[in-house]
Structure 1
Amino acid sequence: MTAEPLVFSGSLADVYFDDEVPAQRERYQALKESFHKRFGVWPDFYARCPGRVNIIGEHIDYSGYSVFPMAVSRDVVIAVASLESSMPVQVTVANQDPRYTETSFQHQSDSIVHIDSSVHDWINYFKCGYKGLLESHGNIQPRGFRALVDGNIPTGAGLSSSSAFVCCSALATMQVNGIKLSKLELTQRAIEGEQHAGVKIGGMDQTACVNGVKEQALLIDFVPVLRATPVSFQPVASSAPVFVIANTRVVADKHVTAPTNYNLRVVETRMAAAILAKHANLHNVATLRDFHKSFILDQYGDQSQGLSDDRQLQIVLAYIDTKLKPGYYSLEDVAAELQTSVAQVRSRLVADVTIRASGFQLHSRAKHVFSEARRVYQFRDLLISSDDSSGDLLKELGELMNQSQASCSDLFHCSCPEIDELVEICRRSGALGSRLTGAGWGGCVVSLVQRSDLDRFLDHVQEEYFFRRWPEMRGDGSISNYLFATRACSGAALLPA
């Protein structure tokens, strides 16, 4: 990630691909006119952030492991006009989508803005970006502004629509208030802001949304520091791969289901790390990656430097089979393993997260995290070290995606029947690899497809999944909202109005 401040892009062509510019020009003009009709003034600028698709590396970011997403062509755009300095400072936010009601809020000197995470309201995500940005700038006098939102990222689909909205809100707030931040700093503010929505996020979504690069995916590292390294698909360019997003139409809002799904998995991975560390007599272990690194160093000393990431994870995977039992742990079981009380377990591992659970599956969760981390490194190494001279590289990448889906479904239990069925349809339709993307429990499937097979692939998936369930979609033009190919796109941008 660059440390240079975010600056205005000169034109839409700086942000979008050439073949996308005409349609985007019409979209921005329509947003500009809608803004003027609603507020009686013209916008000063646009803030824009894309969604993202995670190619591989699911549910491992909050355990400290690297992930491999890319920014997609669908995005959130906010038209903004600042207000003259006045007290109290007021922000008004409207949405092009009539389902979302126009809302105003006032800046509060003590808390910046109140966010009730128990209420699922679209404006909360805007407030998260606003609050996350201004929390670290208490010495400025903020300005009020008006904002009109236009987004085409499917909601609840695992493409980070909420995180893109938070990032875009933070970007708009930054520009209105004359604050200069680098992409790294904006990313961190957005991560901190979205925590106010009540989910223990890992940071992948915000990093991908802000730091996307055209025609490149991002290897995102979280330890020792947050870092996004662009990785080109040039080694497989001769095979002309494309990624296709297919939306199951099962809404998977992690902020709503967090206590039984996302947050619960966070707690389960923490418990697994704590128990493994206890068995190995290791200290200062908070995540499964902490355990992995401490365990390898303890066991191999100086020789650990010569062990590849892949070999280290093989060793750790073998170890957990001897220390974590299959099936469920109760809170009492976890306390017994840690030789402490249930109250201490709650305080240490659960207190900051809202969950609902009668038991915890620790062996399968840890096995998924370690094996998925291996697949990310293998995916990276294949792209960096291969030239695809044999023509098999694309198949190898696809197979890693298939293995990831199996692990998400069988070990992490974050798939669902619709995802499993859509994955199988995609593979039968010619996908070299297909897997869920995002938090899971619904949302989207991402497939790796050769460009020469794209039209046939799209036709088959339309017929077998979408038109069979919703025959009314045939011919109404809505299929492009649920099934589309995408290239790796650019990240956060400011555009003049």
Structure 2
Amino acid sequence: MMPETFLSWWQFNNARGKQPDMSNKCPPVLHVPAAGEQAQRLAALSQTFISAFTQQPQFFTRAPGRVNLIGEHVDYCGYAVFPMAVEQDILVAVAINTSGRLNICNVDANFPPYSCDINNYEINKERPVWHNYILSGVRGIQDEGGMQQPFIGINMAVTGNVPPSSGLSSSSALVCASALGMAHSHGLSLSQETLAEICARCERHVGTQGGGMDQAIAFLATKDTAKLIEFNPLQATSVTLPPGATFVVANCLAPMNKAANSYFNCRVMECRLATQVMAKKAGLPWRTFQKLGDLQRALDKTLLQMITLVEDSFEVRPYSKRQVCELLNTTPDELNQVSLSENTRHIQEFKLHDRALHVFSEAHRVWEFKKVCVEGGAYALHTLGRLMQESHKSTQLLYECSHPKLDTLVELSKGLALGARLTGAGWGGCMVALVEEDKVEQYKEHLWKSYYSKEAAAEGRPRNTLLFSSPPGPGACVFVK
């Protein structure tokens, strides 16, 4: 069968009943915009696709980056988060091929092309390369999308304006856009919630033990609202932010790739160990507990009571691996198998008090943040700013995931911003600040003169790629011509 004949056959059969269900619960299928920046980016992506594969893309997928307003490092502990999607996004052009291969290219020449058998490939966790995130999305649909037959070959071309390694979830957006491309090209009808949960699990093929916030907001975001996202089961509540303020995102220019080292996963494991030690002390079967949130529910305590329990359970000092084993009455070998991930088994010291204290206090701040947004009032914006400041202090001192450059931006924000904090995993990346609308331009100019003009890495880069404000944007979608 000739490629053109095959494509016509595939499109005909797809149209006869294999198209995704276009209900409100599925990612929307929209027409390619006729004008504007997005139209220009899609046109440039099409040209890259045609040059690489000598065919037209059949459709495009889009997944946004995100900024987490509050609730850092709590999603993988089972607690709610408070993100919003930004306008910046990842775009993927997609078409099927008859070779049985997955062929990938990128508009940015710094990301080299890649090709593999679409039904037989490995994802190397030890080698953090950009195409691993696409492979993770493909693997997620293969494992959980409901396909009974081997996959058809796919060509993909990628472009994005989410700054990489900035804490705005460019990698998760790439996973989500790729998974959506695989699902749509094979006629799979998957809801936004299902896609979000699949993508949260499949990103672990890259080696990151995340909690699902990035993937949830990528699919569940709605224009002009932030989202309170809860897990188990996954659900998103739209929250309208108080009027009169804008969130400004500032890149500190210290990149962080959370899949490239064990910092991120170490925090996940420290929270898991704290969970298990407190479960053991409470007489519960500790091996069955993985998340602080599950422990709280089992103990039927409030978040404030859990904070007290942390203070009663741990000393404010690091615990050696041997001491953790003694507390759990277990062996290092069992601890490695039951509690630790592959890239954290070498760690010999864990800060259980500080990590658990951050999680419970941050989880409490999320609900306080939502309450203020709902109730409003004359002091609402100032209260939100205070909660953001408290959040940053907690991530800086208790979770130790900040960075000197982030701390500098937070300090420079005082006086002009109502509050500022790191956003994303930390160890670099971005800060988000709450700024009154009439002070936004003054604030941006202040940061540019006080910070960016002194940073060599900012030289020659457009301001809006380093320092920008964005209204809450929509979630992932499919674009068709």
- Provide TM-score, normalisation by structure 2: 0.91
Partner residue in 1 for 2:364: 374
The aligned residue for residue 113 of structure 2 is: 102
| 1:58 counterpart (72, 77, 88) | 72
Which residue among 379, 382, 387 is the counterpart of 2:376?
387
Contact 1:263–1:355 under 8 Å retained in 2: no
Is structure 2 residue 25 aligned with structure 1 residue 35?
Answer: no
**1:223-261 deviation line (CA, Å, top 9, x unaligned):** 3x111222112xx22x2x11111001101100002x2x1
| CA positional deviation for 1:293 | 1.9
Q: Deviations over 1:177-228 (max 9, x none)?
A: 11111101111221122110011111111111111110111111113x1112
Deviation at 1:355, TM superposition (A): 4.7
Decide which of 202, 205, 216 is 1:207's aligned counterpart: 216
Is the alpha carbon distance of 1:454 and 1:58 closer, same or farther for their aligned partners in structure 2, counting shifts above 3 Å? same
Q: Which of these residues, 24, 27, 31, is aligned with residue 10 of structure 1?
A: 31
Q: CA deviation at 1:279?
A: 1.5
Q: Deviations over 1:344-375 (max 9, x none)?
A: 22222115554542210000001000000000
Amino acid aligned to 1:135: D
Equivalent position of 1:411 in the other structure: 398
Q: Report the CA distance between 1:404 and its aligned residue.
A: 0.2
Deviation, structure 1 residue 138: 4.5
State which of 129, 138, 141 in structure 2 corresponds to 1:121.
129
Aligned runs of 1:347-358 on 2, under 5 Å?
A: 347-351=337-341, 354-358=344-348
Partner of 2:339, secondary structure, is helix
Contact 2:253–2:457 (CA<8 Å) still a contact in 1? no
- Cα contact 2:420–2:432 (8 A) shared by 1: yes
Q: Structure 1: which amino acid aligns with 2:365?
A: R
d(CA) in 1 for partners of 2:437, 2:355: 35
Aligned to 1:467: 453
Amino acid across the alignment from 2:206: A
Q: Secondary structure, in 3 states, of the residue corresponding to 2:256?
A: coil
Whole-angstrom CA distance in 2 between matches of 1:353 and 1:269: 16
Query: 1:4 deviation in Å?
Result: 2.6
| Residues 133-144 of structure 1 aligned to structure 2 (within 5 Å) | 133-136=141-144, 137-144=146-153
Distance between the aligned counterparts of 1:183 and 1:333, measured in 2?
Answer: 44
Q: 2: distance between equivalents of 1:229 and 1:265?
A: 27
- Between stretches 129-138 and 178-187, larger displacement belongs to 129-138
1:180 corresponds in structure 2 to 189
CA–CA separation in structure 1 for the residues paired with 2:313 and 2:341: 25
Q: Does 1:490 find its partner at 2:474? A: yes
Aligned to 1:421: 408
SS in 2 for 1:399: helix
Conserved? CA contact 1:264–1:355, under 8 Å: no
The alpha-carbon deviation at position 383 of structure 1 amounts to: 1.2
Q: Secondary structure in 1 aligned to 2:80? A: coil
What is the SS of the residue equivalent to 1:365? helix
Partner of 1:263: 265
**Mean Cα deviation higher: 336-345 or 404-413:** 336-345
Counterpart among 241, 247, 252 of residue 251 in structure 2: 247
Match of 1:167 among 163, 167, 176: 176
The answer to whether the Cα contact below 8 Å between 1:6 and 1:180 also exists between their aligned partners in 2 is: no
Q: Tell me how far 1:76 sits from its aligned partner.
A: 0.3
Contact 1:94 1:148 (C-alpha < 8 Å) held by counterparts: yes
Question: Partner of 1:16 in structure 2?
Answer: none
Which moves more between the two structures, 335-344 or 53-62? 335-344
| 2: CA distance, partners of 1:22 / 1:436 | 31
Out of 426, 440, 444, which is 1:440 matched to?
426
Q: What is the CA–CA distance in structure 1 between the aligned matches of 2:138 and 2:457, rounded to whole Å?
A: 42
The CA distance in 2 between the partners of 1:40 and 1:395, in whole Å, is 56
Q: Deviations over 1:408-452 (max 9, x none)?
A: 000000001111111111224x11110001110000001111111
CA contact (8 A) 2:248 2:467 kept: yes
1:336 and 1:216 map into 2 onto residues whose CA distance is 48
Distance apart, 1:10 and its partner CA: 3.1
How far apart are residue 140 of structure 1 and its match?
Answer: 2.4
Residues 437-470 of structure 1: CA deviation (Å, up to 9, x unaligned): 1110000001111111011001000111101223
What number of residue pairs does the alignment pair up? Answer: 456
Separation in 2 of the partners of 1:472 and 1:377?
36
Matches within 5 A, 1:217-256: 217-223=226-232, 225-233=233-241, 236-237=242-243, 239=244, 241-256=245-260
Q: Distance in 1 between matches of 2:24 and 2:320?
A: 46
Instruction: State yes or no: 1:279 paired with 2:281.
Output: yes
Residue in 2 that maps onto 1:301: none
Give the structure 2 partner of residue 148 of structure 1: 157
- Distance in 2 between residues matched to 1:345 and 1:366, nearest whole Å: 19
Partner amino acid, structure 1, of 2:384: L
- SS across alignment from 1:350: coil
User: 3-state DSSP class of the match of 2:259?
Assistant: helix
2: CA distance, partners of 1:101 / 1:215: 36
- Inter-partner Cα distance in structure 2 for 1:268 and 1:72: 31
When structure 1 is superposed on structure 2, of 68-77 and 318-327 the one drifting more is 318-327
2:321 aligned residue: 331
Structure 1 residues 157, 319: CA separation in 2 closer, same or farther (over 3 Å shift)? Answer: same
Query: Where does residue 92 of structure 1 map in the other structure?
Result: 103
SS at match of 1:434: strand
Distance in 2 between the 1:122 and 1:74 partners? 18
Percent identity of equivalent pairs: 34
Gaps of at least 5 residues in structure 2 are 1-22
> Paired residue for 1:72?
86
Give the match for residue 350 of structure 2.
360
**Counterparts of 2:382 and 2:303 in 1: how far apart (Å)?**
23
Residue pair 2:336, 2:345 contacting (<8 A) in 1 also: no
Give yes or no for the alignment of 1:48 onto 2:62. Answer: yes
Superimposed CA distance per residue, residues 156-189 of structure 1 (whole angstroms, 9 cap, x where no aligned partner): 1111110000000001111111111110111122
How far has the Cα of 1:296 moved from its partner?
2.8
CA displacement at 1:322 relative to structure 2: 1.5
In structure 2, the CA distance between the partners of 1:467 and 1:51, relative to structure 1 (3 Å rule), is same
**C-alpha separation in 1, matches of 2:315 and 2:65:** 38
CA RMSD of aligned residues (A): 1.7
Q: For residues 375-413 of structure 1, what are the alpha-carbon distances to aligned partners after superposition, in whole Å with 9 as ceiling and x for unaligned?
A: 0010011112x132x2x1001001101000000000000
Alpha carbons 1:164, 1:206 under 8 Å: kept: yes
What amino acid is the match of 1:264? C
Partner of 1:321: 311
After TM superposition, give the deviation of residue 154 of structure 1 in Å: 0.7
User: Take 2:124 and 2:88, find their aligned partners in 1: how far apart are those partners?
Assistant: 28
Residue 265 of structure 2 contacts residue 341 of structure 2 at CA under 8 Å; is this kept in 1? no
CA distance in 2: counterparts of 1:277 and 1:91, whole angstroms: 46
Letter of the 1:98 counterpart: A
Between 342-351 and 48-57, the greater mean CA deviation after superposition: 342-351
How far did residue 281 of structure 1 move? 1.6
